[in-house]
A and B are shown apart, each in its own frame.
Chain A
Amino acid sequence: MAEKEAKSIDLATLEMIDKAAQDGAHVVFERAETTRPCPIGAEGSCCSICAMGPCRVMAPKGKQETLEDRRRRVGVCGATPETISARNFVRKIAAGTASHGDHGRVVAKFFLAVAKGEAPGYEIKDEQKLLQLALDLGVTIGDRSNKDIAVDIGNLMINEFGKQEGELLFLRRAPLKRQEIWRKNGVMPRGIDMEVAEAMHRTHMGTDQDYRDLLTAGVRTALADGWGGSMIATELQDIIFGTPAPVLSSINLGVLAEDKVNIIIHGHEPSLAEMMATVCQDPELIEYAKTKGAKGINLAGMCCTANEMLMRHGVPIAGNFLQQELAIVTGALEAIVVDVQCIMQGLVDTASCYHTKVITTDARAKIQGATHMPFEEHNAYESAKAIVKAAIDNYVNRGKNVRIPKYKQDMIAGFSHETINYLLGGMFRASYRPLNDNIINGRIRGVAAVVGCNNPRTPHDASNLIMVKELIKNDVLVVQTGCMAMASGKAGLMVPEAAKEFAGPGLASVCEAVGIPPVLHVGACIDNSRILMSTTAMVKDGGLGDDISDLPVAAAAPEWMSEKAIAIGQYAVGSGVFTVFGCNFPTTGNKEVSDFLFKEMEEIFGGMWAFEPDPLKAAQLMIAHIDKKRKALGIDKARERVLYDMAMRRALE
């Protein structure tokens, strides 16, 4: 059992790992054992950006390095270990920013198509958010139609990607003090693509070779993700697909149905998924499924596409990143339909042992051995229908070797920034005031964002659970996105009843008052931009300082693995948030670079990185940081109740 627990704490996962072994199917957990991490790459000490290398510049282990040794420990070009480490780090930021940026770009173009009426089947769903965005962006509202306003917004947003000068428009949503910090340090991103391109250029052989300059430039790149690509994606998706509101659903492999055509949609971009959700309700297709002997069609999600559909439609989630192959191992999956990002190529090999069809849909993400069925936004319904039909057709190929784990857990999701605002005061008194108030009065100690991926180098879901439980036990409200949100969902932390069982008495009392779980599902990994908006809202509501870095908040990615996570971490730190990563960290080979990230950045940006693989200790670091901020705000001690007389009322503004 101990060996099993080293792989996952999720019983459905463990059951399917066993089944995979019996069936002779290969899955990620097995590969992680056979393929060990490269120790030089893991610590960021390998440079492979030119053909003079690759050069390895590891520090000698266990002995003091002489000055001369230190001078020799450089790449062929003379690049120091600091430059190499920083360049590797910045390239990850660039890749992550590019991924979210490209997602955002697709959404922006799609949004414009919807606005122009060129994407039949889609429409503007959230008028209020459209108008709010118009106000934020200075788009004239007047008597104009939603369509005209949306066209302007779409054009403005598309322009953000190719812009060559100025500042990204959403940066002005940040607290004023934060904007000053960015300007003062020259890290205001100009255009999203430009920042990625410049980062790639800076890190090219023989270009920027000052690690501080590289890492500071990396902040600018990352901000083009959080306040750029990601935020554009989130905002525009909300307008055309609807802003999430609380919804009850369920999660884990147990959501797959014994007697229905099971389709999993996996990846990150919601436009196909949205249409799939509609198409799966099509009576014609349901009838068609029945002709194949199934009782209906069961759509479930995986990874962030799942989060998007869960938040907006309550579509259940089959599991998180490390469970993607295991869904196939159930033997009950007719098709796994994928778009972009975090799709393991191993799916195809796993599927070869079962009847599951792996269907790629995005022109940018094809997989050798998979079926490619392009999703065309201009002909969305038909292309989604073809995909569903292919899955139905595959139902008859389902074999006898079917075992769906019984595990599934109810969870509530849909806590968008706007929804939280509403939930805290209703339609007439909506505000972040109750959150701030209860932070100030100490019922809530602070807020922590626990986000990111799964990583087979650490027991699946375990670090998340230990960290989140420790945080809520200490009255820290936790907000989550991505695969970590799913980990908590599976563990039963995302139902309101969890507050009484797991949260400290202060947090529990607030959860009971509002009717929320102690751990809030805020969306996909792109939706970390919602957390930026929420922290900004907290600052603007007052009483907790005048910048994000003043807030008693912290962030963590205890089981991270993707380059997107590094980009997210850097924009969080660049926005003033203390951010702890678990698992491993790509600069551990270099003290100077790590010192810059872990210490110096705090002086410049008010936020800093930390690396702590022990999730309990990491949670305690976060709590310590929250307490440090509480002390600085003067809210570390209980305050006397203020009773108001008339003179005090007159003094009110």
Chain B
Amino acid sequence: MSKIIASAAIRGAYKIIERAEKQWREAMDKHGANEPVGFPNTAYYLPIIYGILGIKVEKLGDMEQVLKRCRALLPPPVRESHPLPYLAPALDAGMATFFAEEIIEAIRYLEQPNFYLKGEDITENNIWLGAANDVILRKRGIEFVDGTAPGFAAILGAAPTPQIAAKIAQELQEKNLYVFMAADYNGQRFAEQLIQAGVQIGWPTRLVSFGPDVSATVFAMGFATRAAMSFGGIEPGDFRKILIYNKDRIFAFALPLGYVTDEWYANGAGAINWGFPVIADTPIPEVLPSGICTYEHVVSNIPHDRIVARAVEVRGLKVTVTEVPIPVAFGPAFEGERVRGDDIYLEAGGGRTQMVEWVTSKRMDEVEDGKIEVIGPELADVPAGSRLPVAIAIEVAGRSMQEDYEPILERQIHHLINYAQGVMHIGQRDIAWIRVSKQAVEKGFKLRHIGALLHAKLHQDFGRIFDKMQVRIYTETDKVKEIVEKAREVYRTRDARIEGMTDETTETYYSCTLCQSFAPSHVCVISPERTGLCGSYNWMDCKAAYEINPTGPNQPVPKGNTIDGRLGQWQGVNDFVFKASRQKIDHYNFYSIVNDPMTTCGCCEAIAAVLPLCNGVMTVNRDYTGDTPCGMKFTTLAGTIGGGLSTPGFVGHGKYNITQRKFIKGDGGLLRIVWMPKMLKEEIAERLKTRAAEMGAPNFLDMIADETIGVTEEEILPFLTEKGHPALGMEPILG
């Protein structure tokens, strides 16, 4: 911290804290101390205050003690001559700044409930997204955990022109980073500049317009703080661990664009506590010695064309970007981009035309690597707004290629095509659906580029399991129909084979420690009948991932002697878990919620909980934000059991797992389920009916209560009794 920076940061902190105090007093006069306050739909209260101080701000009156702490943290101004050491006081002032800004933003939520939007997307009239709710946190958090998003850039202010803003944003997107935006410079705001430049912003494109004022920086810092609590399993108030977690694992940095005000300095000083450095485009003083951050703390005067590269280097982040030979930008950040209405140049599938995607293996001499053919009309051959049938047929060959890997490769098609800027992809197999935008076509995008990007990316990611690959893209109705029929035959065979696999007949399971970047003691072990709790990895995926990267996070786990076949516990698995959890967990059961259930990092798709009164189990999916009969919302549940803990009575699981044969088999299986959200029931209805029928309860779906019946055990019990729910007749769930 240089003297100039520290002096400014401390001045800024005074201004912000005084503002917070004033607003708080006014709000107290108006509403009284008991008025509820908070950010929407979160179990983390005002997350920075909660994480760092351990204080739950639930009512206006709760803010008083926080403001007192702010005052206590505020150091005296830095003397011009012979100053006392200023780094530590400035960092403290920065922290106090965040507490005060959370209070300011919470009061804004109280006074102007509609100032910020509630969802992931911006609207015509409002572009400010405000605090990320816990659904967004968990959904996006997984990307941080699995590395699809290595971190975020917090941008304050504005670039000199919308074009430069768009360029910086795209560069950050290409590096897979989230962009969190706040504050203005000379009345200009980065988020508004992006809109002017025609860039889609919102959570889906990772360009997150948090708010118009500098105080919206706390939404970015709060996101990071919550990640440490929800994925790192760190207790609120354990500030040191939360901050070090962020320094080591969340690769974020601040990019102040434009004149750095005292308030910006105060926010920058605060961010340094998290290990997030500041990279400025203006000639402010630099702070190069390391220590609080991994490398430099403040680097300045960086030209806009170099600022992203420099920021990534200063933060110590390694981003591997594949060059994909297509004329549009490419990367996970573009996955969530929509193509709509007038923007559509071409549409295929989605019920309008037929579309199919199919990967099949061939002999080595049948495949010419890199060959891409478009059979039928190309984009240039049809006018804007057209529809075509499309079949994407990929043929691969290689010494290590196995038929089992075909669906894995096939499943990549969806997100890989989506990664292309200006191309939207939904669904898979014969229900795939694609839209190509006019903007992409203007940049020269052709259908053959779909083949090119798939060839490049699949080679990069799966090069160890195949050697050659060629792509045919059909756009003629007859040809497409022909492929669809062949593919459907293959889909049926595949499904039957996977369905036929059982845990008993499989000797080797696979671990998944992908999340250890965020949850250091969490270990998933995945068997054929218990897919990964994040819903992203099944046994076959893990097997392939191991083939691809033998030293990676998916390792074979010989299950060894069976310790308990009913609950699903094996010696080999226990040994592996003990080692891989860094001695934190020495055993767990695959098929039980009651007895030492499997751990979760916190990014599970659904969480099941025992309902003792109903003698059953409920489960709730991540997207359901309402109350549940166990007394906790999903996010509170995830916060309670996440971070690599084994919590009897609760278990995280994938949605698909509910209908697998081994689902909580040790506690009675699927028929223990007494409650789940309506949306989840609808989503898995078909498979659930089939599985229940196998278990002798064909009408089981109708016996499961949901929120329309009740959200307490007392409310749903009469319903269960009336329906004659099988769980009521089972042995007591809690021994």
B251 touches A644 (CB 8 A): yes
Bound-state Cα–Cα, A355 to B84, Å:
38
Q: Which residue of B lies closest to A444 (CB)?
A: B289
Tell me whether B383 is interfacial, beta carbon within 8 Å: no
B292 touches A644 (CB 8 A): no
Chain B proximity mask over A16-59: 1 for CB below 8 Å, otherwise 0? 00000000000000000000000000000000000000000000
Interface residues in A618-653 (C-beta closer than 8 Å to B): 641-650, 652-653
- A428-B288 contact in complex given A422-B88, A512-B2, A515-B87, C-beta closer than 8 Å: no
Q: Which residue of B lies closest to A652 (CB)?
A: B248
Shortest CB distance A435–B (Å): 7
Tell me whether A426 is interfacial, beta carbon within 8 Å: yes
Residues of B within 8 A of A422 (CB): 88
Interface residues in A434-448 (C-beta closer than 8 Å to B): 434-435, 437-438, 441, 443
Shortest CB distance A185–B (Å): 35
Shortest CB distance A311–B (Å): 13
Tell me whether A497 is interfacial, beta carbon within 8 Å: yes
- A427-B582 contact in complex given A443-B289, A509-B288, A510-B289, C-beta closer than 8 Å: no
Bound-state Cα–Cα, A514 to B3, Å:
9
Bound-state Cα–Cα, A618 to B171, Å:
54
- A642-B85 contact in complex given A424-B291, A509-B288, A515-B3, C-beta closer than 8 Å: no
Shortest CB distance A519–B (Å): 13
Which of B6, B52, B83 neighbours the largest number of chain A CB atoms within 10 Å of its CB? B83
Tell me whether B520 is interfacial, beta carbon within 8 Å: yes
B316 touches A515 (CB 8 A): no
Bound-state Cα–Cα, A429 to B248, Å:
13
Interface residues in A408-437 (C-beta closer than 8 Å to B): 410, 412, 422-430, 433-435, 437
Q: Among the listed A642, A646, A647, which residue makes an inter-chain contact with B316, where contact means beta carbons less than 8 Å apart?
A: A642
Chain A proximity mask over B84-96: 1 for CB below 8 Å, otherwise 0? 1111111110010
B73 touches A427 (CB 8 A): yes
Tell me whether B243 is interfacial, beta carbon within 8 Å: yes
- A643-B313 contact in complex given A429-B273, A649-B248, A650-B516, C-beta closer than 8 Å: yes
Residues of B within 8 A of A653 (CB): 520, 582
- A427-B318 contact in complex given A497-B82, A516-B85, C-beta closer than 8 Å: no
B83 touches A515 (CB 8 A): yes
Interface size range of chain B in the complex: 35 or more
- A652-B520 contact in complex given A429-B91, A641-B295, A645-B318, C-beta closer than 8 Å: yes
Residues of A within 8 A of B316 (CB): 641-644
B95 touches A426 (CB 8 A): yes
A513 touches B248 (CB 8 A): no
A425 touches B317 (CB 8 A): no
Q: Among the listed A427, A437, A443, A652, which residue makes an inter-chain contact with B95, where contact means beta carbons less than 8 Å apart?
A: A427
Tell me whether A495 is interfacial, beta carbon within 8 Å: yes
Q: Among the listed B85, B91, B295, which residue makes an inter-chain contact with A428, where contact means beta carbons less than 8 Å apart?
A: B91
Tell me whether B725 is interfacial, beta carbon within 8 Å: no
Residues of B within 8 A of A412 (CB): 82, 84-85
A425 touches B292 (CB 8 A): yes
B86 touches A515 (CB 8 A): yes
Tell me whether B249 is interfacial, beta carbon within 8 Å: yes
Chain A proximity mask over B223-257: 1 for CB below 8 Å, otherwise 0? 00000000000000001100110001101000000
Residues of A within 8 A of B36 (CB): none
Shortest CB distance B253–A (Å): 13
Tell me whether A496 is interfacial, beta carbon within 8 Å: yes
Residues of B within 8 A of A438 (CB): 289-291
Tell me whether B147 is interfacial, beta carbon within 8 Å: yes
Tell me whether B513 is interfacial, beta carbon within 8 Å: yes
Tell me whether A246 is interfacial, beta carbon within 8 Å: yes
Tell me whether B169 is interfacial, beta carbon within 8 Å: no
B85 touches A434 (CB 8 A): no
Tell me whether A248 is interfacial, beta carbon within 8 Å: yes
B147 touches A646 (CB 8 A): yes
A650 touches B291 (CB 8 A): no
Q: Which residue of A lies closest to B290 (CB)?
A: A437
Shortest CB distance A212–B (Å): 43
- A513-B287 contact in complex given A641-B295, A643-B317, C-beta closer than 8 Å: yes
B290 touches A423 (CB 8 A): no
Which of A430, A513, A516 neighbours the largest number of chain B CB atoms within 10 Å of its CB? A513
Bound-state Cα–Cα, A512 to B85, Å:
9
Tell me whether B425 is interfacial, beta carbon within 8 Å: no
B82 touches A248 (CB 8 A): yes
Residues of B within 8 A of A443 (CB): 289
Bound-state Cα–Cα, A515 to B517, Å:
35
Q: Which residue of B lies closest to A425 (CB)?
A: B292
Residues of B within 8 A of A496 (CB): 3, 82-83, 85
Tell me whether B150 is interfacial, beta carbon within 8 Å: yes
Chain A proximity mask over B134-167: 1 for CB below 8 Å, otherwise 0? 0000000000001100100000000000000000
Q: Among the listed B82, B243, B273, which residue makes an inter-chain contact with A495, where contact means beta carbons less than 8 Å apart?
A: B82
Q: Among the listed B79, B81, B91, B290, which residue makes an inter-chain contact with A441, where contact means beta carbons less than 8 Å apart?
A: B290
Residues of B within 8 A of A649 (CB): 248-249, 517
Bound-state Cα–Cα, A402 to B560, Å:
94
Residues of B within 8 A of A512 (CB): 2-3
B6 touches A434 (CB 8 A): no
Bound-state Cα–Cα, A449 to B68, Å:
40
Residues of B within 8 A of A650 (CB): 513-514, 516-517, 553
Q: Among the listed B73, B83, B88, B318, which residue makes an inter-chain contact with A425, where contact means beta carbons less than 8 Å apart?
A: B88
Tell me whether B552 is interfacial, beta carbon within 8 Å: yes
Bound-state Cα–Cα, A435 to B239, Å:
21
Shortest CB distance A553–B (Å): 18
Chain A proximity mask over B460-474: 1 for CB below 8 Å, otherwise 0? 000000000000000
Bound-state Cα–Cα, A428 to B88, Å:
9
Q: Which residue of B lies closest to A510 (CB)?
A: B289
Shortest CB distance B279–A (Å): 15
Interface residues in B65-105 (C-beta closer than 8 Å to A): 73, 78-79, 81-92, 95
Q: Which residue of B lies closest to A427 (CB)?
A: B92
Chain A proximity mask over B292-303: 1 for CB below 8 Å, otherwise 0? 100101000000
Tell me whether B1 is interfacial, beta carbon within 8 Å: yes
Residues of A within 8 A of B52 (CB): 428
Bound-state Cα–Cα, A224 to B715, Å:
72
Bound-state Cα–Cα, A424 to B291, Å:
8
Bound-state Cα–Cα, A515 to B244, Å:
23
Bound-state Cα–Cα, A429 to B320, Å:
31
Interface residues in B253-295 (C-beta closer than 8 Å to A): 273, 287-292, 295
Q: Which residue of B lies closest to A414 (CB)?
A: B84
Bound-state Cα–Cα, A647 to B517, Å:
7
Which of B3, B90, B146, B291 neighbours the largest number of chain A CB atoms within 10 Å of its CB? B291
Residues of B within 8 A of A645 (CB): 147, 150, 318-320
B85 touches A515 (CB 8 A): yes
Residues of A within 8 A of B319 (CB): 645
A514 touches B517 (CB 8 A): no
Shortest CB distance B656–A (Å): 25
Bound-state Cα–Cα, A46 to B297, Å:
59
B318 touches A644 (CB 8 A): yes
Residues of A within 8 A of B240 (CB): 428-429
Bound-state Cα–Cα, A624 to B287, Å:
29
Residues of B within 8 A of A642 (CB): 316
Hey, which bits of chain A sit against chain B, CB under 8 A?
A: 246-248, 410, 412, 422-430, 433-435, 437-438, 441, 443, 495-497, 509-510, 512-516, 641-650, 652-653
- Sampled A-B contacts (11; CB under 8 Å): A246-B85, A412-B85, A426-B92, A429-B273, A438-B290, A513-B289, A514-B1, A515-B6, A641-B313, A649-B249, A652-B520
Hey, which bits of chain B sit against chain A, CB under 8 A?
A: 1-3, 6, 52, 73, 78-79, 81-92, 95, 146-147, 150, 239-240, 243-244, 248-249, 251, 273, 287-292, 295, 297, 313, 316-320, 513-514, 516-517, 520, 552-553, 582
Other A-B contacts than A514-B86, A644-B251, A646-B147, 4 sampled, CB-CB below 8 A, are: A248-B84, A424-B87, A426-B88, A496-B3
Question: Which 9 residue pairs of A and B lie closest in terms of their CB atoms, listed nearest first?
Answer: A434-B291, A426-B91, A646-B147, A643-B318, A515-B86, A649-B517, A645-B318, A426-B88, A515-B85
